Amino acid sequence: MAAEPSQCSPLIARVLGEESYFGNGSPTWPSAPTSLDARKARKSYIKRLRRFSAEFPEADELAHTLARCKRRRRCMSGACPECGRAFQRWFAAEVINLASNDISLPLAAVSIAFQKHRRAEDRLSALDTMGMKRSLSAVIKNAEDLAWMIGGIDLSLNDDTQKGPDIAWQPQFYGFAQGTSREALSEILRDKYKPSKIAPRPIQTKECDGSARAISYGFKNDFVRRIAYRGHAGPPGKRRKFWTTRKVSLRATEHVRAMLWMHRIGLAGRLFLRGVRMTRTGNGVGLVQMKIKKLE
């Protein structure tokens, strides 16, 4: 049997019950996967899961779950490319709408590497997102300049062998925040999440243009392997070395581990909300600000 997934919340189930998110209408963005792309990916994932079911016994049950996903009878698994794409499109539409409620407040993209939650290559099943989300909520709860923050937790398999550490799964948050001061938010986050050899820049913030393409990255469903290596820059005679990474696809067994984890955690397990909540609306499910802060 597959590892039991986190129960799909009624609101997320309602989102995935809206078939328009599985289509090809708005929102969309350059290089966005189409409904056909997602359907083909689901079938490919099913084959991969079945191929490795001897090594991962729970993979066969997940393959059955994905195989049952169809129009108006969605599997709602966090590992399903079709359900994941639909939720990503809902996420993009709602964050864009939320940010447009007060265009006087700048929108920032925020990236956080949760170094303390790094897991060995074969220990991904032990990774839970609850501690990460609670910690992040506690860090930003007193940020007076922050109206809200929303995003998703994803993974990369980091090959840092050239630095010294082993290969390990690195969870990270990527999301968006609206408030009067991106610098103040960065300072609060950097005070909590310190640099290390593994993650010399665990906190990154930058202005966000609010486009669907930019927002969609906050709940992406494809994970990669990051390989650290020494890069060189500068003119001849003044070349300097620095650490950088290149992204490659996960190997087949790594991808199976990631799918099993996504299925267990579920879409709700990856979603982070602070200052906003999901709620039923006349048109389905939306994001609304919980408390209007007076930001000056």
Give the pLDDT band (50/70/90) at residue 130.
very high
Residue 172 pLDDT greater than 90, yes or no: yes
Q: Measured on CA atoms in the order 118, 201, 271, 18, is the torsion positive or negative?
A: negative
pLDDT (0 to 100) of residue 7: 61
CA angle 42, 154, 145 (to 5 degrees): 135
In degrees and rounded to multiples of 5, residue 228 shows phi and psi of -80, 140
pLDDT (0 to 100) of residue 79: 97
pLDDT in tens, 12-64: 999 999 999 999 999 999 999 999 999 999 999 999 999 999 999 999 999 99
Residue 2 pLDDT greater than 60, yes or no: no
pLDDT in tens, 86-124: 999 999 999 999 999 988 899 999 999 999 999 999 999
Residue 142, classed as helix, strand or coil, is: coil
| Non-local CB neighbours of 148 within 8 Å, separated by 6+ positions | 98, 177, 178, 274, 275, 276, 289, 290
Measured between alpha carbons, how far is 1 from 157 in angstroms, rounded to an integer?
Answer: 25
pLDDT (0 to 100) of residue 5: 52
pLDDT (0 to 100) of residue 1: 38
Closest residue by Cα to residue 222 from 199, 255, 184: 255
Q: Measured on CA atoms in the order 39, 40, 45, 48, is the torsion positive or negative?
A: positive
How far is Cα of residue 177 from the mean position of the Cα atoms in its chain? 15
- In the chain, pLDDT over 70 holds for what percent of residues? 95
Give the pLDDT band (50/70/90) at residue 295.
very low
Residue 157 pLDDT greater than 60, yes or no: yes
SS3 content of the chain, % helix, strand, coil (to 5): 40, 25, 35
Measured between alpha carbons, how far is 183 from 180 in angstroms, rounded to an integer?
Answer: 9
pLDDT (0 to 100) of residue 26: 93
Task: Note the pTM of the prediction, 2 decimals.
Answer: 0.91
CB 21 within 8 A of CB 15: yes
pLDDT (0 to 100) of residue 228: 76
Residue 118, classed as helix, strand or coil, is: coil
Residue 175, classed as helix, strand or coil, is: strand
pLDDT in tens, 180-238: 889 999 999 999 999 988 788 999 999 999 999 999 999 999 999 998 777 777 777 77
First to last CA, the chain: 54
Domain ranges of the chain: 10-289
Residue 3 pLDDT greater than 90, yes or no: no
